[in-house]
Amino acid sequence: MKTLITGIHAVESALKNDADNITQVWIAENKRNQRVKELINHAQKRGLIAHRSDPASLDKLAKTHQHQGVVAEYNAPKSFQEDDLFDILENIEGTPLLLVLDGVTDPHNLGACLRTAEGAGVHAVIAPKDNAVGLTPAARKVASGAAETVPFIQVTNLVRTIEKLKKEGIWFIGTSDKSSGDLYTYDFKTPSAIVMGAEGKGLRRLTEEHCDTLISIPMAGQVSSLNVSVATGVCLYEVVRQRQA
């Protein structure tokens, strides 16, 4: 499936991690700084010609002004399917760590979650197909290359997938302000899936009911909750801290 990647960092990451699937690169005529020159060199080394284009044409192509003068056409590999989860689990070295996003609809939040997941060593990110955002160009841009390296798997029935993964020994830890226990009292050294709710609404009722336990992030100020991508980072790096310790 052909899609677009926009932004200098996102295109740089795609050239580094998955250059074979980039088919074309466009650079705005007015972008001639050193970083752009290096990106053009990287593209040329991989047999790609960086076409110069006027900014207005790039705006129309990318359907946004937020492309930093760099756009690439990306032939996205076949997306992961639900059954691929079990192949991924079989090949994990060490303790599994999964991230579940229950209905995240903002592509910027999805991209930020993917970027954090890649940094924390998450083995796969799971999300429902309905009422949730997929890997849009905006999500890929914010992910800064993580969309090409972390398996992102959209499933038809999230609760059914949770139940299947429980049988594989995965413990599901949901984030909710209804929890009486906080993030820092839970032992994440077991095979774990962190379950994050949607922006504003939090976890759906059925998803919450199928979690093995619920945790909350302690809040010391007046604000009652964090943005989903920020909360994801807090939770995942507490897992990293515990497992490294």
Residue 220 confidence (pLDDT):
83
Q: What is the CATH number of the domain that holds 50?
A: 3.30.1330.30
Shared-domain flag, residues 115 and 33: no
Residue 78 confidence (pLDDT):
66
- Decide which of 22, 41, 75 is a domain's last residue: 75
The owner of tokens 């095979």 is 191
The mean per-residue pLDDT over the stretch 216-238 comes to 90
Domain, as residue range, for 57 = 2-75
Shared-domain flag, residues 144 and 49: no
d(CA 147, CA 143): 6
Shared-domain flag, residues 67 and 113: no
Shared-domain flag, residues 67 and 109: no
Shared-domain flag, residues 107 and 180: yes
- Kindly tell me if the per-residue pLDDT of 194 is higher than 80: yes
If one counts the domains in the chain, the total is 2
User: Tokens at residue 222, please?
Assistant: 């007046």
Shared-domain flag, residues 211 and 111: yes
Could you list the residues known to form a binding site for S-adenosyl-L-methionine, using ranges: 197, 217, 226
Shared-domain flag, residues 90 and 65: no
- Decide which of 27, 50, 75 is a domain's last residue: 75
pLDDT cut 90: percent of the chain above it: 52
Is the pTM higher than 0.85? The answer reads no
User: Tokens at residue 143, please?
Assistant: 């992910």
- 36 versus 213: which is more confidently predicted? 213
d(CA 205, CA 159): 11
Shared-domain flag, residues 97 and 68: no
Mean pLDDT of the chain: 90
- Decide which of 53, 75, 97 is a domain's last residue: 75
List, for residues 120-137, the tens digit of each pLDDT value. 999 999 999 999 999 888
Question: For residue 181, is it left (φ>0), alpha (ψ between -120 and 50) or beta?
Answer: beta
- Kindly tell me if the per-residue pLDDT of 49 is higher than 90: no
Confidence class of residue 77 from pLDDT cuts 50, 70 and 90? low
- Kindly tell me if the per-residue pLDDT of 6 is higher than 90: no
